[in-house]
Amino acid sequence: MFSKINSIYLRGMEGKNVAVEADVSDGLPGLILVGYLASEVREGGDRVRTAIKNLGLSLPPKKITINLSPADFRKEGTGFDLAIAAAILSAYGGFRAKDLEDAVLFGELGLDGTVRGIPGVMALTDQARESGFKRVFLPVENVNEASVIGGMELYGIRDLRHLLEVLSGKLPMQAESTINMDELQNSMNRYEVDFSELSGQPLLRRAAEVAAAGKHNLLIVGPAGAGKTMLAKRMPTIMPGLDIAESIEISKIYSVSHLLTAKEPLIRTRPFRAPHHTVSVQALTGGGRRPKPGEISLATGGILFLDEFPEFSRAALETLRQPLEEREVTVSRVEASVTYPANFQLVAAMNPCPCGHFPDRSRCRCTDGQITRYLQKVSGPMLDRIDICVEASPITYGDIRSSGNNESSREIRARVEQARKIQGERFAGENIRCNGEMSGRHIRKFCWLGREEEKFMEEIFKKLALSARMHDRILKVARTTADLAEEEKIRLADLCEAVSYVKSRDKFWGN
């Protein structure tokens, strides 16, 4: 007999429909799997056969051929086990495969027949919905994660016997209840930290607000203990709040990485990723034998924080240059290339010298050569992709004692969201949403200057010997400060503030 069961394979963030075909016929008993399969898929045949046996399901000895179609791309992972088992049981007459024409199955099998969770279920379910399927049979532990997508009937399966009893009609086919999306919405954007906890540092606080409002990359230079890391950890709290749609898009990346749980099936706050400076290029960008998202993809929609910025390997830092521009990263392997989103905001922090006390020569004992070598670990092209550079000053006793008067994250976020709303209206119909994403064409269109401002920019361009890229970044930051002030035109004050962030960089790296 012949049967066909639908399943889905996830390559990167893209799902592909797969037909699991089973043929049971006379011949030498055995199980053959074909269809351009990785070793773990072929091993699934042994898992399925053993699981069927250990559940006490007796099958007559026949020749079983399993084909995963189409065969023009390589199938990997253990998610086909449940579909393979269902195809075999259907071919032996356990139930009618035609009853599953509108359904997909995925899940891994244990040798005792239990159905185990797999990564990427949210993306798989979304692909099933887009492909027109109505039902999904999946592991019980993945039901909450899949229910976030909505629009699908979900059936949590405990083991093979449970699947057979449901499909044969011995048990009622009852869909799992879905998550209450209103409760999820109410529980989003709750952070354990707040900007009011950051003492002093008015310049840092302003730079962080401007960076969040325009989605500008930020570099903080200052001595240890000045609050650089503390500020970076609180950056997500002043960014615009997540809505359900954006949360689902971010959660898909975490689903593919198997970082969601049944209790936490949705990312409810903006991501904050802070890899150690020993991180490898592969861990940062993604990859592996079976490519998975890296830190820059997991930071999508949130903050990628690189502390001790110059201590990262040159290769790792240079790898960031293209994703910062393209907002995605492509991982190429011999078998295939996969593309992951990398739409993150970079926040970096570093000391001004190896000892951390420069330019305070009463404490800094570093030679000029040591300082130069330390700073040159960050390349010019990498610096050119950072819009705002700000210097953190040492904290004073008065700053600490006056911490109760600091603005809260909620107050700052209100201004940031208003600025983002202005940008959203400005860029309606464009392929960008924030000032930090503007290209040269957008800058010429949206960052026009008055006569006085034009003259000022010409003088600054000549005096600081600016590159075209730095000229554009000054205008982008100035556009954001004007939006925070709810001004239609870029003012002279906006240009002066934007130039001050360039001057902070030149203090350490020169022109």
* pLDDT digits (tens), the chain, 511 positions: 899 999 999 888 888 999 999 999 988 888 999 999 989 999 999 999 999 999 887 788 889 999 999 988 889 889 999 999 999 999 998 888 888 999 999 999 999 999 999 999 999 999 999 999 999 999 999 998 998 888 889 999 999 999 988 888 877 777 676 666 677 777 788 899 999 888 888 899 999 999 999 999 999 999 888 889 999 999 999 999 998 889 999 999 999 999 988 788 889 999 999 999 999 999 999 877 778 899 999 999 999 999 999 999 999 999 999 999 899 998 877 667 888 999 999 999 999 999 888 877 788 888 989 999 999 999 988 998 899 999 988 777 676 666 567 889 999 999 999 999 999 999 998 889 999 999 989 999 999 999 999 999 999 999 888 888 889 999 999 999 999 999 999 999 999 999 999 888 888 887 5
Looking at this protein, which amino acid is placed at residue 455? K
| Beta bridge mates, 248 | none
DSSP 300-353: TTSEEEESSGGGS-HHHHHHTHHHHHHSEEEEE-SS-EEEEE---EEEEEE-SS
Cis status of the peptide bond prior to 359, with omega within 30 of 0: yes
- Domains along the chain with CATH numbers: 2-167 (3.30.230.10), 195-509 (3.40.50.300)
Region of 430 please: left (phi>0), alpha (psi -120 to 50) or beta. beta
Is the distance from CB of 221 to CB of 391 less than 8 angstroms? yes
Strand residue runs (E) in 94-236: 103-105, 108-109, 115-116, 135-139, 153-157, 218-221
Output the CA torsion 473→477→478→484 (10° steps): 160
Strand residue runs (E) in 76-184: 103-105, 108-109, 115-116, 135-139, 153-157
d(CA 209, CA 201) in angstroms, rounded, equals: 12
How many other CB atoms are there within 10 angstroms of residue 431's CB atom?
Answer: 8
pLDDT of the residue at 118: 94
Cis status of the peptide bond prior to 70, with omega within 30 of 0: yes
Q: Is the dihedral of CA 44, 47, 50, 51 positive or negative?
A: negative
Q: What angle do CA 101, 105, 106 make, to 5 degrees?
A: 160
d(CA 328, CA 370) in angstroms, rounded, equals: 36
Q: What angle do CA 79, 85, 89 make, to 5 degrees?
A: 155
**Segment 63-100, tens digit of pLDDT:** 999 999 998 888 988 999 999 999 999 999 888 888 89
pLDDT of the residue at 284: 95
| Beta bridge mates, 155 | 137
